[in-house]
Structure 1
Amino acid sequence: MNLWPKRLTRLLCVTVALCAVQVPVSLAQGETPPDQLVVGMSMINLLSLDPAAATGLEVAEVNANVYDMLLEQDAAQPDTLIPALAKTWDVSPDRMRLTFQLRDDVRFHSGTPLTAQDVAWSLQRVVTLNRALASTWKAYGFTADNVVKLMRAEGPHTFVMELPRVTDPMLVLNTLATSPSAFIIDRSVALQHQVGDDQGAAWLATHTAGSGAFKLDIWRANDVILMSRNDDYWRGAAKLRRVIMRNMTESQALRLMVERGDLDVARGMAATDIKALGKVDEVRIQSIARGTLYYVAMSMQQPLFQDIRVRQAIRLLIDYQGINDVVMPHYGVINQRPLQLGLPARLDDPGYRLDVTEAKRLLAAAGHAEGFKVTIRSLTDPPFINIATSLQATLAQAGIQATIITGTGNQIYGAMRDRQFDILVGRGGGGAERHPHSSLRALVYNPDNRSEAKLSNFQGWRTSFFNPQLNQLIEQAERERDPGRQREIYAQIQTLYDQQAGAIMPVSQMVDEVVIHADVRNYIGHTAATTRLRDVYKQR
């Protein structure tokens, strides 16, 4: 079977040296097959396909096309949840019970009908296996001891989830619509490959057992993914016959492939290459807002930053406008709040700007008129290192001598998890869930500041920023039933966080830019990275 156009095969082996060619004024007609989508992207972080353990944007896009969820976040309107496997869902008056009525016409790729028992088992195993993606469900109060009782089938097409503690049901529904842990697995196929009590985990790391619009045919780690159309898909067969994803980590190689028409979609390109391709008629650039924030963080293990005046001074020594105008195009847009842009509960930006004079006054009042020495930890990749370099320069204007320490993700975020840093340029937040609690839980909430608590999943804990009043308000807002009152509490939280000069200072909200050949239609990048390709086609 001929899976690859000859020219595509040849170009996949192109060397970096060839990537320095001149950008043509226009592109050759795309040479990828009309019924196949060829995607270039980095797969170095694609380590497992198991929904219980698969983290990262890359795997979410793969699994979104081979698995289904109970409900989905509308790609065009992210604040809207739409039916998928669940035709309808209902929240009990006390908001402690969610009931889902499932479609009765869904079959897995194996041909087995999908039932509520598959749904219950799929979600239960995330908690009982206790791997990377269990943390969100544990935050809702689910445990290995209670999950089988609380997540259960009540008949072949009715799934019930009882909440173990009071929370906002909309938050849980958003998790079911966006989390990589919420894909529904063919229980019978997974258990056929069970080893010991792993519930099929070893097999599911490299295979899939879903009901989605495409079937996984081949996955070779750090090389290629091949998916073919599921002709029996319950929504109707996808318009494309095949999807091919290639591991490509060099931005210039991606750019060359796009220029020659041998890639339909390219992800993970450097800003300079995206900018160059933006001038070409045959290419479109699609910006996808992500929920994560780029930030400057300070550790309050460092006595300097326990003084609110020093934190306020650092906040005034960040050149927000300059960073977002010069560094962040193609990476992010300005956001000075610990909440995602576009949420109804989010207040307008407080308008912080570079103010060296006021920063010097605050430092002098704190006893640091001559400044001090600190380190800034940052990844070597843009835009992190560019933000760090800008911060280093503006700190120097107030007499603060900052040394930049670079490293890998494990080195930089590892130091943060160990609370062994001064200042750090990072990225984090609630991600895909369109709910204020998602961001606040990740960036602000710190229920136990003791070192032995080791709450490294909370970035607030990593900075040692601890404010009992903020914790109480976050918990209160999560439980609040009245939407108006809940919004008021979220406004209080944002105002108080500003007044206390919280240790994580948002600078910009992440934007992911995808390069798409102009003949590709209906490709809508998803904020949750669950970009579904079932309606994508080519017009030539």
Structure 2
Amino acid sequence: MKRRSLLAGATCAMIAFTSMHEVSRAGTPANQLVIGFSMSNVLTLDPAGSSSKERVQILANLYDGLVGIDPVQRAKVVPALAESWEVAPDRRSIRFHLRPNLRFASGNAVTADDVVWSLERVLRLNQAQATNLRLRGYTAENAAESFRAIDGKTVEIAILQPIDPQIILMTLAMAGTGSVIDKKEVLGHEKAGDLGAAWLTTNSAGTGAFTMQSLRPNEMAILARNDNYWGPAPAMARVLMRHIPEAQSQRLLIEKGDLDIAYSLGAADLKSLEGNREIKVTTSTGNGLYYLAMSLKNEHLAKAKVREAILKLIDYDGLNRTVMPYYGVKHLSPVQIGLAQQPFEPKLRMDATAAKALLAEAGYPDGLDLTIRTLSEPPFDNLAVALQSMLAQGGIRAKILTGSGEQVYGPMRERNFELVVGRSGGQISHPDGDMRSLAYNPDNRDEAKLTGLQGWRVSFKDDNLNRKIDAALREADPAAQARLYNEIEQLYADGIPAIQPISQVTDSVAQRADIEGFQISPVWQTKLETVRKKR
């Protein structure tokens, strides 16, 4: 039976693959959604792995958590697999009640044990998503006491720190961190104690509206409708997510009708599509920050005057005016737009003369040589080229190294880089999420492997800043908390940060005019079950 299932799955994948090429000649079928995006950062579909934007866009449609994030109000938690929950009077635990009759795509029943095992698995594998739980005090060692199945349909999660329970709910709403996995199905594919990690690289075992039918790295992902989905049945029988990193290619394909939605278009392409009546372009404030990261493990960049010189060589207004339209808007603070009650903007401006003087004081009167790593796709590559030109005005000779997600973020996770043009963005809509992602680093040792923290990746550690970030999260008074975050942002700027935000992410997506029900998620978790075609 298993062999027959595998053969059937392969046959379906081939049919879908053939259909895709037929689509390019005749337009997309009414029950099939074709999306163009970049798979460069899709290194694994295991929920425990990395949290790249592109990967989350897939995971959000394969898995559900106990709770989710409202697609419009990014700070609002909504029910998902849990139909309700209550916080204990002492704020030390949250009890969740699962919906009745939930089933995984495999047909296996969803139980409280699956939820507990999924969270424990993230910690045991200790990959990128484990950081989100470890930040809240959860470890592989205390998981059994922290996550408990009260009965088959009730889960209790302990709150181990004196923090707002909303932070725990938001953590559980993160695609990957809180994704509930089919324990029975995954352990059936376990090899050498890997908890099914190898199998989940290209397969899925969730409750989402779709299931992974076929994944061809850097080619396409084929999602098929999950007939066991607990919500309203998706209108689309299949979703084809095609790896088309070239923006111009996506534009041509969506103009012809060969794509229904284009995620990765360049500014020029989006501008040209604005006048096309058959296409709708939507731009909204998204999740994350484009940044320049500088490794403090590098002997040159460890000097504050060198970092300050680099920051003074950047024309932030010019970058955002020429490179970032449709991708981002100028934002130089580590706390994202709309999350700080008292917004703070660092007073940064380009001053090449002052930058040269700082470099001379630091011992580099003739400049120095550095390398910039970045993804080989817009806007990252264009940002890197613009920064290269700006740094050259101060005598900094920057060589650009472009590549895939693993070639760029792999060295960053190993703390073996100099400069990186990257993009941050957790899925927690709270200043704490940003500050912990970019600035917090409780253990700067290489062996700590806090790969989910950008602060650790750049070897930046400020104990005073760490303490203030912790204090702000414990503060119960909203006004006092707002003042603390404002103070933290000022301290971050005064310390000549190793990660300098350049732009707040905006999401610009082109879709065929007959696509309805498509709602861009502000935290990357765009759900496709509501999408339909008016044909």
What TM-score comes out, normalization by structure 1 length? 0.86
1:324 aligns with 2:323: no
Q: Which residue of 1 aligns with 2:202?
A: 206
Provide the residue aligned with 1:508 in structure 2: 503
* Partner-residue secondary structure (3-state), 1:469: helix
Q: Measure, in 1, the Cα distance between the counterparts of 2:506 and 2:103.
A: 36
Offset, 1:303: 5.7
Task: Give the Cα–Cα distance (whole angstroms) in 1 for the partners of residues 497 and 113 of structure 2.
Answer: 45
Indicate the SS of the match to 1:181: coil
Structure 1 residue 250 and structure 2 residue 246: aligned?
yes
CA shift, 1:526, in A, is: 1.7
> One-letter code of the match for 2:441?
N
Q: For structure 2, which runs of at least 5 residues remain unmatched after alignment?
A: 1-11
Distance 1:452 1:39, change over 3 A: closer
Partners of 1:509 and 1:151 in 2: how far apart? 35
Distance in 1, matches of 2:172 and 2:423, equals 20
Q: Name the residue aligned to 2:339.
A: 343
Report if aligned partners of 1:339, 1:346 keep a CA contact under 8 Å in 2: no
Residue pair 2:392, 2:398 contacting (<8 A) in 1 also: no
1:292 aligned partner: 288
Residue of structure 2 in register with 1:518 after alignment:
513
Task: Determine the structure 1 residue equivalent to 2:525.
Answer: 530
Query: What is residue 25 of structure 1 aligned with on the other side?
Result: none
Matched, 1:169 2:165: yes
- Per the TM alignment, residue 90 of structure 1 is displaced from its structure 2 partner at its CA by 2.2
* Helix, strand or coil at the partner of 1:154: strand
Match for residue 491 of structure 1? 486
Q: Which moved more, 1:382-391 or 1:167-176?
A: 382-391
Determine the structure 2 residue equivalent to 1:153: 149
The number of aligned residues is 521
Structure 1, 413-422 or 461-470: larger mean CA deviation: 413-422
Partner of 1:458: 453
CA distance in 2, matches of 1:43, 1:410: 11
RMSD over aligned Cα, in angstroms?
Answer: 3.1
Q: Distance in 2 between matches of 1:342 and 1:510?
A: 12
Question: Which moved further from structure 2: 331-340 or 31-40?
Answer: 31-40
Give a deviation string over 1:10-68, Cα, whole Å, max 9, x none. 565x9xxxxxxxxxxxxxxx832222212223334434333223643333233322322
Matched, 1:188 2:184: yes
Amino acid across the alignment from 1:240: M
For residue 9 of structure 2, what is the aligned residue in structure 1? none
- Relative to 1, partners in 2 of residues 1:465 and 1:231: Cα closer, same or farther, differing over 3 Å? closer
Deviation larger for 343-352 or 116-125? 343-352
User: For 1:63 and 1:475, how far apart are their aligned partners in 2?
Assistant: 30
Aligned to 1:98: 94
Q: Deviations over 1:252-295 (max 9, x none)?
A: 33222211112111222333333322331111122354433222
Q: String of CA shifts for 1:186-236, please: whole Å, max 9, x gaps.
A: 333333444454433343333323222234444444444333434453322
| 1:364-420 superposed Cα distances (whole Å, 9 cap, x missing partner) | 7x47795632424132544334334433444444x4333324243555545555655
- Bigger Cα displacement from structure 2, 213-222 vs 74-83: 213-222
Separation in structure 2 between the aligned mates of residue 344 and residue 163 of structure 1, nearest angstrom: 24
Q: Aligned partners of 1:142, 1:333: CA distance in 2, in Å?
A: 35
How many angstroms does 1:74 deviate by? 0.9
Instruction: Work out which of the residue numbers 21, 36, 40 in structure 2 matches 1:9.
Output: 21
SS for the counterpart of 2:173 is helix
Alpha-carbon offset, residue 482 of structure 1: 3.0
Identity of aligned residues (%): 41
Matching residue within 420, 429, 446 for 2:424: 429
- Whole-Å separation in 1 of the counterparts to 2:19 and 2:62: 28
TM-score norm. by structure 2 comes to: 0.87
Q: Distance in 2 between matches of 1:199 and 1:412?
A: 27
Output the CA distance in 2 between the equivalents of 1:516 and 1:171.
Answer: 34
Give the aligned residue type for 2:396: Q
Select the residue among 233, 245, 254 that pairs with 2:229: 233
Contact 2:41 2:406 in 1 (8 A): no
Unaligned stretches of 5+ in structure 1?
15-29
Q: Does 1:386 align with 2:398?
A: no
